Structure 1
Amino acid sequence: MDKEQHVAGGVAAGFITLAVAMGIGRFLYTPLLPLMLTEYGMRPDQAGFLASLNYVGYLVGAFSAGPLCHRFGELRVLAAGLFLSCLTTATTGLLTQFPAVCGSRLLAGNASALAFVAVSGLVLMLIARAGKENLAGLYYGGVGAGIVATGLAAPPVAQFAGAAGTWVVFGGVSALLSLVVIFLLRRQEGPRHDQAAAPKRPLPRDPRYLRLVIAYGLEGFGYIITGTFMVAAAKATVGAAGAQIAWVAAGCAAFPSAFLWSQAARKWGRLKPLVAAFLIQATGIVLPALVGGAPAVVAGALLFGATFMGIVTLALSEGASYAPAARARVVGFMTGIYGIGQIAGPSLAGYVAARTGSYQLALACAAATVVAAGLLISGDAFGRKNPQR
């Protein structure tokens, strides 16, 4: 029973961490963006630049998290990431001049990656020791829960406190939730890191792994355009209320998606569902641009929400299967490549939106990129040599 409680506590801690560091620290930006454009006096291209800065920080954090965990341990790195996430969430509202917001979003991205990689190492190790790897999909649901929370709570808070005050409020909420995470994980020990006895293992060189990494990077580019500008794009066509509904719908779909996609992987292997998820997501991204109207916006949000965390779960699990003894390095490397895609996406989309006065072309580019990711690994997914991958 004690072992089961440790596993449940670890999964719960992972869930809350992703809600704080990703759902709030990263995605609170999306529902607040339309108000920030007015209140902070920003242009769409500046908004895209801010989002890209966030992912520059994420990239740095992703590549540095592995070595930091190796030296200081996962729990310390996780605590640092959560502290930085809470601090930068609050300072995005306390310091509203554009250069200061740039610094806050840059550090917020770094915090998200540190927390994500560190808690993934702890939780994946915990459930692997208990022989309950199927629970991995549950803790990834924290991202969806954070999106739902921001989508529901941010607009009413912003009515009274404005965008700046909403950032501060959520910074305080994040701090309280972070204390719960540390309490749940205080007795957990990460993998032992003995640099002399256990030198760094090389990353896989299998061509199938390299194709998977490239596809994951393309996904980072395509998904983040929608993840950043969904509410702003929806507001232009269905109004503020419709945009809020779409964002909450995306979060509700994301909440169970990682677990459901992991169940699909148990039946068909990971790559076939991964290809399906890419194509479904691309449909969700481009649907509002092609059809228009509130039903298309909400349907697109549901398809997007139902796939983006599923893709993370399937891709990282597949990547780790090529080097089980170097799981942390694989996750960190793939997260870094994903981050490169995320850096390019928002800036390009913001530039295109500023020049065309619409997000439609940017969303079409995002959808095409995600389709390309699916096509890249389709041969590995459906080839005769690897029927179960």
Structure 2
Amino acid sequence: MSVLLNKRKNANIIIAGIFALIIGMGVARFAFTSLLPSMLNNRLDISFAGLLASINYFGYLLGAIFAIFIKSNSLKVKFFRVGLFISFFTTLVLGLQTNDFVWIVSRFIAGFGSAMLMVVGSSLVMSRLDIEDKTKAMGIHFSGIGFSMVVTDILSRTVLSYSSWDDSWIALSILTIVLGAYSFYILDEQENQSFLKVKGKPFKMDSFVIVLIFSYFTVGVGFVVQGTFLPDIINSIEGLAGFGSNSWLLAGFAGIPSCIIWMRLASNYGSVNIILICMCFLIISILIPTLTSNLFLNLLSAFLYGATFIALVGLFLNLGGKIASSNPAFLMGALTSSYGIGQITAPLYSIALINKYNSYETTLYLTAFIMLLGVVVLYLNKNKEKKYANN
């Protein structure tokens, strides 16, 4: 037991980071997608669901921007812990209240808390790992996003099998306490530890960083449509009603090893090259539901979605952390802000297009096109990555 409580041990730092991602990404964000089919039947309509998604992402965006200005490790730890408390209370509220205004406020604040756990938490993990090459270790850390989908979905399904969606939110809030306690303990203030001193070249904004930020914006757009509506997209396809929940669980399982695999490839073949390949696979996953009603291919779409969008988060944030190694939270926050803008934009145009055409097809076409722009711009600038190779 004492080994698990060692705050300097790299494995414990990674476990604490994964637990934080399960709370910040799984409970505070993805559980909404997992429970959406049940809530659409009993609580929400599709327009209000889209609004809640955008509100949540808006809170996440503000949190990511706020993270840019958190400089000291002491403040990072404090706001990381604020994120843990926010995730618990905003989740509990969803199980106890049905007032629309309360839900809007709750999802907004939950988004802010999610950013504290994702951006600030990942920055703490990266800063504290006592490893020369952190790319592979951060791949393990970001696998927590896949775990976040699987763990929260399985818990939600279990509760739904004998109760209702509101009890699922209460169960998720209890999960937050259990996992959050470990993260709270391990990622505390240790200003005097030598491995907390982040070394690296001074960071300066340049054209490549701007391209990276734009491309990550398009990934945010590419992520969020399926990230909000995937179970309902699958259920809406002729002959596939009832398979939506399975598709989300499959995406989560695909996501668990994806960061480890893709970031290992990035370590060998270059981050940008692997990012471009990953983005192309995500575009394919977005387009598959528009092209066929075949069950296998649509489950493949869900698999590719989970295997790419989670890895892209890890790839971009890890690259940003290396580029701005003297202050990884700064560029991680800037990247996450652009991602957040994409997440806010996409559900809003999705709602308009879904209501107009009574299907997801036009939304998915537009989303794939926006992502393609990100691929083209990044490809045209990929050689500029070389200047950061020795950071």
Taking a change above 3 Å as real, the CA distance of residues 383 and 188 of structure 1, as seen in their structure-2 partners, is: closer
Paired with 2:388 and 2:379, the residues of 1 have a C-alpha distance of 11
Which residue does the alignment assign to 1:229? 229
Kept in 1: contact 2:81–2:184 (CA 8 A): yes
Kept in 2: contact 1:219–1:341 (CA 8 A): yes
Q: Is 1:136 aligned to 2:138, yes or no?
A: yes
Which residue does the alignment assign to 2:370? 369
1:25 counterpart SS class: helix
Q: Is 1:281 aligned to 2:275, yes or no?
A: no
Taking a change above 3 Å as real, the CA distance of residues 275 and 356 of structure 1, as seen in their structure-2 partners, is: same
How far the C-alpha of 1:232 sits from its partner, in A, is 1.1
Question: How do 1:1-389 residues align onto structure 2 when only pairs under 5 Å count?
Answer: 6-40=9-43, 42-68=44-70, 70=72, 72-127=74-129, 129-133=130-134, 134-186=136-188, 188-189=190-191, 204-237=204-237, 239=240, 241-381=242-382
Aligned-residue sequence identity (percent) comes to: 28
How far the C-alpha of 1:188 sits from its partner, in A, is 4.3
1:334 counterpart SS class: helix
User: What letter matches 2:167 in structure 1?
Assistant: G
Paired with 2:385 and 2:324, the residues of 1 have a C-alpha distance of 22
1:307 counterpart SS class: helix
How far the C-alpha of 1:301 sits from its partner, in A, is 0.6
User: What letter matches 2:26 in structure 1?
Assistant: G
Paired with 1:215 and 1:379, the residues of 2 have a C-alpha distance of 12
Kept in 1: contact 2:155–2:168 (CA 8 A): no
Paired with 1:177 and 1:384, the residues of 2 have a C-alpha distance of 37
Give RMSD over aligned pairs: 2.6
Higher mean Cα deviation, 65-74 or 270-279? 65-74
Paired with 1:186 and 1:73, the residues of 2 have a C-alpha distance of 11
How far the C-alpha of 1:98 sits from its partner, in A, is 1.6
How far the C-alpha of 1:157 sits from its partner, in A, is 1.3
Deviations 1:211-263 (A, max 9, x none): 11111011111211111100111122255541121111100111011111111
Deviations 1:32-73 (A, max 9, x none): 112112221x22121111100001100111111243453842
1:306 counterpart SS class: helix
How far the C-alpha of 1:384 sits from its partner, in A, is 11
Paired with 1:384 and 1:76, the residues of 2 have a C-alpha distance of 34
Kept in 1: contact 2:68–2:331 (CA 8 A): no
How far the C-alpha of 1:89 sits from its partner, in A, is 1.2
Kept in 1: contact 2:27–2:172 (CA 8 A): yes
Taking a change above 3 Å as real, the CA distance of residues 191 and 96 of structure 1, as seen in their structure-2 partners, is: farther
Which residue does the alignment assign to 1:195? none
How far the C-alpha of 1:371 sits from its partner, in A, is 1.8
Paired with 2:313 and 2:163, the residues of 1 have a C-alpha distance of 34
Taking a change above 3 Å as real, the CA distance of residues 124 and 331 of structure 1, as seen in their structure-2 partners, is: same
User: What letter matches 2:260 in structure 1?
Assistant: F
Kept in 2: contact 1:57–1:110 (CA 8 A): yes
How far the C-alpha of 1:6 sits from its partner, in A, is 1.4
**TM-score normalised by structure 1 residue count:** 0.91
Paired with 1:349 and 1:266, the residues of 2 have a C-alpha distance of 36
Paired with 2:192 and 2:256, the residues of 1 have a C-alpha distance of 26
Paired with 1:30 and 1:286, the residues of 2 have a C-alpha distance of 20
1:73 counterpart SS class: helix
How far the C-alpha of 1:378 sits from its partner, in A, is 0.6
How far the C-alpha of 1:386 sits from its partner, in A, is 7.1
Higher mean Cα deviation, 340-349 or 157-166? 157-166
Deviations 1:14-44 (A, max 9, x none): 011001110221000112112112221x221
Deviations 1:261-300 (A, max 9, x none): 1111111110000000100001011112211221122100
User: What letter matches 1:31 in structure 2?
Assistant: S
Kept in 2: contact 1:62–1:335 (CA 8 A): yes
Paired with 1:370 and 1:146, the residues of 2 have a C-alpha distance of 24
Taking a change above 3 Å as real, the CA distance of residues 328 and 373 of structure 1, as seen in their structure-2 partners, is: same
How far the C-alpha of 1:320 sits from its partner, in A, is 3.1
Paired with 1:365 and 1:115, the residues of 2 have a C-alpha distance of 31
Paired with 1:377 and 1:388, the residues of 2 have a C-alpha distance of 17
User: What letter matches 1:345 in structure 2?
Assistant: A
**TM-score normalised by structure 2 residue count:** 0.90
